[in-house]
Amino acid sequence: MRSRIVGVLCLVVLCAAAPPKPKTIAPESFPHSVAMFLSSLSADGKQRVAFKASALGTHFFFEEQTGVSVYVFDGVGYRRQAFLKGLTLAQAVQKYRNVPRTRPVPPRTRP
């Protein structure tokens, strides 16, 4: 009986010790005009408001206390692409700035 109680107690402790999923305040998506407004409001991350935001190409970055939400422009607005836990705005922008861009290969034409 004692071993069952110890087993159940260990299971409860292990389940309670699991780290919670990081809670974000950033929305899943928002329109382009709002993204540009937030970016200019924080002067591309140079001025702290209650957040930091910046845009780079088709990506928009929104820094929170737990990490950075990365959004991608889908033609109408921005939708969340990834959440980079523990990174700062500068680190996230640098990570996406260093992504090599490939040029599309033009189709071959027959002479």
Residue 46 covered by a domain: yes
The series of mean pLDDT values per 10 residues for the chain, 111 residues long, is 54 54 72 82 78 84 89 87 92 81 62 62
Residue 56 covered by a domain: yes
Q: What are the residues facing 69 on neighbouring strands?
A: 62, 83
Rounded to a whole number of angstroms, the CA Rg of the chain reads 22
Q: Are 52 and 63 in contact (CB under 8 A)?
A: yes
How many domains, in total, are found in the chain? 1
Residue 5 covered by a domain: no
The pLDDT, as a whole number, for residue 70 is 92
Residue 76 covered by a domain: yes
The pLDDT, as a whole number, for residue 35 is 83
User: Residue 78 sits in which domain range?
Assistant: 22-97
Q: Are 62 and 54 in contact (CB under 8 A)?
A: no
Cα-Cα-Cα-Cα dihedral sign, residues 70, 96, 78, 52: positive
Residue 108 covered by a domain: no
> How far is the C-alpha of 19 from the C-alpha of 48, rounded, in Å?
29
Residue 54 covered by a domain: yes
> How far is the C-alpha of 68 from the C-alpha of 36, rounded, in Å?
17
